[in-house]
């Protein structure tokens, strides 16, 4: 079952624009759209010296573990995960049934600002993902079954 709509160049450009705007407003360092399976879809910000692929996978795992905890305490779900560090903090929040917004920000930046501006970013990202889905409701990607050794099935030349 496809979990992610097929994204075109203009979809990615819109996601990138939303993430750039979010970074400007929130003073965060990095913002990423990730699939709930942990796959990095798009990112903006200063990612030098960071392994974003691994960070995306682990952030998704932390969010999904939090959802399991929510169920165990008879809560339907938790909307977000916040981890505070000494230098940097992380905030992960739900976009839609398939994607998350993951943010890394310096500790000097208040989490309230990060959360506040995430609401608008989530809405815009969800809207673009819905536009992509409506473009071709029957197609899409299940990244969990992708053959990483040969991803050619996913990439086609533009006609």
Per-residue pLDDT tens over the stretch 88-116: 999 999 999 999 999 999 999 999 999 99
In a domain, 8, yes or no: no
In a domain, 10, yes or no: no
What's the confidence (pLDDT) of residue 159? 55
- Where in the sequence is the domain holding 105, given as residue range(s)? 15-136
In a domain, 19, yes or no: yes
In a domain, 132, yes or no: yes
Could you tell me the mean pLDDT of each successive run of 10 residues in the chain, 159 residues long?
78 97 97 94 93 95 94 92 95 95 96 96 97 81 50 53
The two counts, helices (H) then strands (E), for the chain are 3, 5
- By C-alpha distance, which of 152, 151, 146, 142 is closest to 36? 142
- By C-alpha distance, which of 41, 104, 36, 95 is closest to 68? 36
DSSP code at position 130: H
In a domain, 107, yes or no: yes
In a domain, 156, yes or no: no
Question: In CATH, what number is assigned to the domain containing residue 57?
Answer: 3.30.450.30
Looking at the structure of the chain, the number of domains it has is 1
What CA–CA distance (Å, rounded) separates 62 from 158?
Answer: 36
């Amino acid at each position: 079952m496809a979990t992610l709509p097929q994204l075109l160049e203009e979809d990615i450009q819109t996601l990138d624009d939303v993430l750039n705007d979010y970074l400007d407003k929130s003073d965060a360092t990095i913002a990423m759209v990730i699939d709930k399976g942990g796959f990095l879809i798009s990112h903006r910000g200063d990612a030098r010296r960071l392994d974003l692929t691994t960070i995306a996978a682990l952030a998704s795992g932390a969010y999904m573990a939090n959802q399991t905890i929510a169920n165990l305490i008879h809560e339907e779900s938790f909307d977000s995960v916040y981890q505070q560090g000494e230098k940097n903090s992380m905030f992960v929040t739900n976009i839609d049934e398939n994607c998350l917004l993951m943010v890394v920000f310096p500790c000097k930046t208040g989490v309230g600002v990060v959360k506040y501006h995430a609401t608008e970013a989530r809405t815009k990202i969800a809207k673009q993902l819905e536009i992509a889905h409506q473009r071709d409701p029957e197609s899409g990607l299940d990244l969990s079954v992708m053959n990483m050794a040969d991803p050619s099935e996913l990439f086609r030349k533009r006609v």
